[in-house]
Structure 1
């Protein structure tokens, strides 16, 4: 009775790990050694390798845009040309292989493989092309979607179990992020239009606005797109494969280069390996340390989420600091000793400064939106995973739950994602604060300009008043000088100093009387209009 209840409870779970995966299944694994493209070539002999690999039936979830993106990134003509020319891309180490089983009789590669050697080792060239040409039916189904999402720079964490055909599993994660470095390292991988696979953006403008002398610094901050992708897929817990893609173009000195791992493996003892998927974590030799797929997937995810969290934390911290520096350059006020004091701008540059400030603000907000969008996508991927696929690892009442150790690993992963959610909130608050501060800063700039304008007008009025009085008092002198400059005998005045003084006094009296009559007339006009308005 207890067994029946447990089975009923297990079957009622919407997400659960099939107990069939826990034991080795009696399957013809030899049939899976024939690549999927070989099967397809018998049906469609006129198609190239990539076209055959992406060819699928209507039940395949791989969308049309996935086909288009993979076709564009890996056109057949370019692959064949590169393979035949034997260029440098084929000679550069790009892969590590580890083939292990429960016995010590297993193939283990202690040497990094070039794309050409990978092609030969797997059975038939060139990263994506090598995988496409060697993947069996089950792997092709998984790799089509996996390669597409890695090229698309998108976030995802999920477990996929096909509802039809052979029962298999695929544990997959894609973690996009931005790496902030003080120099630009362009991605050499190109689309057909010669655009790089991953974009690089100069973000030095955040703390070094146009016109600031910081722009002359030799090192500029650049934001690099990057992604880490992994998929663990197989038929049961004894027969499975793990594929791992990571972008390293932005760090030339990284310890995760294939050449570095190759050097480590040559120096390590036979019973010890550095696992590249777990960022070089030292583990028991692959020939003697066979893991279960869910355990391995969670450990890889834990290590890589922590790596991604570190990059995001650095980006968010730098954005907070750099925005403060950049904003201070444009701010109309400075804070000293807790008091806000205006910065005196040149009136001629006020409009230009305001225009530059608005342009800087638009660029910063656009940058923050891009960061928020990608980080939100990553956090949402975790939430979707916890809402569904987590049941494949742990579900109440399920007999196939992961061990307590793996459950702790799952808790660590959730804690790291919770910190990522906190970083997302910081970016959102930073963007909201900038949007809220724009009207205030612009108002402060206008108020400062109005204050400067009022001071200038007051100074101008004072100067005009002084000039008016000087002109007013100089009128009598000008009139007297004009009268006395006439020829002798024209005026009945003797030519002596007293005549000059009397003439000046008379002219002053005339000017003052005229001014007083003018003021009385103005006041009478104002009084008359006021009385008229009341009546």
Structure 2
């Protein structure tokens, strides 16, 4: 028993938030002003130039991936990351990134909130332009974060990007300092490849750094409206995300429904509790021009008292959370609830379409007053409907299962990094539409709410599996009955 307790304590000690993060690491602040690309392509005090400054997008990918320091390692992550990044980053000159008139880089897609701590609760806010394009974002990210003349330090940086494409990823790769660049390749990989994950990474070697990261892969049901497919294209011409129009669910009444793949990705990385950055990537293409998450939807005429924080779906940015871990938990809870609602809506809409046929699948056989050949045709349509529904349900079960699995793994291991903040109060109030501005939520309460969401996901998974079983049983009966209803050959 004592040996087991000692082992447990040793494991927990390995997941303790470093005191250096709390005490801060000012010796590293100046390094935030130099991008990794500049660091490895320019000589410092006559030192040897390691690489030529990239001129094209493909050059940039090659140089950027050297941050992983595994180029010569067999079976390294660079082997699969390089073709994946190349698949979404169209070839071209990096000079395009600065051409504000070029349609490839002039789409409004980003919001940037830079603040430094001050006596006032909201901190000192940099005067960044609103609704940044890729070209505009590049210009802002090239400024110094630390000791920038005429600007407060960007101690806490929030970067919100909608429907990111290869060009904005190139802008991030070009401007990110080495202390953050280490985590970006894998972050891009999980976003591009539509993954679900959750974890905290504190590298054991090199400077003390941290990365808190989550990804949600989910599906969105859209019905009776314009179909908005993903406008972004990979090098092979295929869209980033697929949209599947349901062809067979409307047997007895017309149905215009589409299921979209979607992704939400977040990375909070920094060198201590003072200097950190949150990267947030979200798919909004399926919402169309009326998107509630488009960057221009967060613009207010008067934002002196209330400025919405897009990462947290509208919490007041003027009551900032300065602790990176508390802020990460808050984003995770908000977005977990959003994904839960999307998946719940999908299952409810699908269930309404299937209910007349699955309420009692034993009633599928009797088709009175219908000719045998007509009965067979209807059976074929029912079979197609059930097959289509089963495929969608299988995908939904997998998506929900991954969300539950990664949370269970996080709770048993990486959550140990959060132990010390569970007794502290946060200062993140709810937005005016959700409660009084003085209302506060502790990190412990946020974790409890996350647990409630996960419980709802478990129930949602059980409902989805039940629907899947009903579909399978009904399809089996339809197939069996169809053998006896096949029209005679002429």
Please report the TM-score for the alignment, with normalisation by the length of structure 2: 0.78
The whole-number CA distance in structure 2 between the counterparts of 1:354 and 1:111 is 56
2:103 corresponds to 1:88: yes
> Shift in Å at residue 389 of structure 1?
1.0
Residues 501-516 of structure 1: matches in 2 within 5 Å? none
Q: 1:78 and 1:31, CA in 2 relative to 1: closer, same or farther beyond 3 A?
A: closer
Residues 286-301 of structure 1: matches in 2 within 5 Å? 289=320, 291-301=322-332
8 A Cα contact 1:189 1:197, kept in partner: yes
8 A Cα contact 1:153 1:176, kept in partner: yes
Report the equivalent of 1:337.
none
Match of 1:49 among 46, 60, 75: 60
> Shift in Å at residue 384 of structure 1?
1.5
Root mean square deviation of aligned Cα:
3.1
The whole-number CA distance in structure 1 between the counterparts of 2:33 and 2:193 is 29
Report the equivalent of 1:532.
none
Query: What SS does the aligned partner of 2:262 have?
Result: strand
Query: What SS does the aligned partner of 1:181 have?
Result: strand
Report the equivalent of 1:197.
240
Query: What SS does the aligned partner of 1:267 have?
Result: coil
The whole-number CA distance in structure 1 between the counterparts of 2:479 and 2:237 is 42
Query: What SS does the aligned partner of 1:77 have?
Result: coil
Match of 1:333 among 360, 363, 367: 363
What number of residue pairs does the alignment pair up? 423
Query: What SS does the aligned partner of 2:398 have?
Result: helix
8 A Cα contact 1:159 1:170, kept in partner: yes
Q: 1:232 and 1:273, CA in 2 relative to 1: closer, same or farther beyond 3 A?
A: same
2:12 corresponds to 1:21: no
The whole-number CA distance in structure 2 between the counterparts of 1:123 and 1:19 is 30
The whole-number CA distance in structure 2 between the counterparts of 1:228 and 1:385 is 18
The whole-number CA distance in structure 1 between the counterparts of 2:369 and 2:454 is 46
Match of 1:227 among 263, 266, 275: 263
Query: What SS does the aligned partner of 1:187 have?
Result: coil
1:71-128 deviation digits (Å, cap 9, x = unpaired): 1101342765575583234222211111111135552425221111111111189411
> Shift in Å at residue 407 of structure 1?
1.0
The whole-number CA distance in structure 2 between the counterparts of 1:425 and 1:232 is 32
1:476-531 deviation digits (Å, cap 9, x = unpaired): xxxxxxxxxxxxxxxxxxxxxxxxxxxxxxxxxxxxxxxxxxxxxxxxxxxxxxxx
The whole-number CA distance in structure 1 between the counterparts of 2:380 and 2:192 is 38
Query: What SS does the aligned partner of 1:96 have?
Result: strand
8 A Cα contact 2:96 2:105, kept in partner: no
Report the equivalent of 2:44.
none
The whole-number CA distance in structure 2 between the counterparts of 1:245 and 1:278 is 12
The whole-number CA distance in structure 1 between the counterparts of 2:78 and 2:407 is 22
1:201-232 deviation digits (Å, cap 9, x = unpaired): 012522x13xx4x34x6xx1101111111111
8 A Cα contact 2:404 2:454, kept in partner: yes
> Shift in Å at residue 45 of structure 1?
1.2
Query: What SS does the aligned partner of 1:251 have?
Result: helix
Report the equivalent of 1:75.
90
Q: 1:325 and 1:51, CA in 2 relative to 1: closer, same or farther beyond 3 A?
A: farther
Report the equivalent of 1:388.
413
8 A Cα contact 1:155 1:175, kept in partner: yes
> Shift in Å at residue 62 of structure 1?
4.3
Report the equivalent of 1:348.
373
> Shift in Å at residue 190 of structure 1?
0.6
In structure 1, list runs of 5 or more residues that go unmatched: 335-339, 454-535
Match of 2:309 among 263, 275, 284: 275
Report the equivalent of 2:45.
none
Report the equivalent of 1:506.
none
Residues 357-396 of structure 1: matches in 2 within 5 Å? 357-394=382-419
In structure 2, list runs of 5 or more residues that go unmatched: 42-48, 144-165, 426-441
